Amino acid sequence: MGFIGDSISSLKSINVRQVLEQAITLGMIVSSALIIWKVLMCVTGSESPVVVVLSESMEPAFQRGDILFLRMGEDPIRAGEIVVFNIDRREIPIVHRVIKVHERNDTKDIDVLTKGDNNDQDDRVLYAPGQKWLQRQHIMGRAIGFLPYVGYITIIMTENPIIKYILIGALGLLALTSKD
């Protein structure tokens, strides 16, 4: 009958109970992932406890595709620490090293200047127009650990969306055929 005919007859043979079971299983997987993410946010104090390094600006410390684990405590930020920050109106966070910190004695406010290890200049060119320093609200967390190259699959799927759809389709097909 051919591939299309076999696929149609296979879909007709799926009963409502199997579809419902698969939908509930998928919902439980998604819910579990969200719960784990929220727990990590609470434990680390960071709005994004895990990030992937997207550029070569921090080489040799971190390579493109490394996964960083972040923590944001109340400890003061010091020069030499590697932080992840987000600039207003930019969606992608940046991973760079703190090179200068100005603390105000009258308040607990700080001004932070960063630079990528592999960059020639500080990050003022990356900041919002007119912005010379980062404040605490820009900093998402400090790097406390990393897994080398594990996040490269994320970069591949972002740069080539067709691979993401092929992977999702293959996983869906695998789920359908595993029930037989």
Which residues are part of the catalytic machinery? 57, 96, 123
Single out the residue of 139, 164, 152, 141 nearest to residue 67, CA to CA.
152
Helices 161-178/152-159 angle, 10° precision: 110
Q: Do the beta carbons of residue 72 and residue 46 sit within 8 Å?
A: yes
DSSP β-bridge partners for residue 141: 84
Q: Do the beta carbons of residue 155 and residue 52 sit within 8 Å?
A: yes
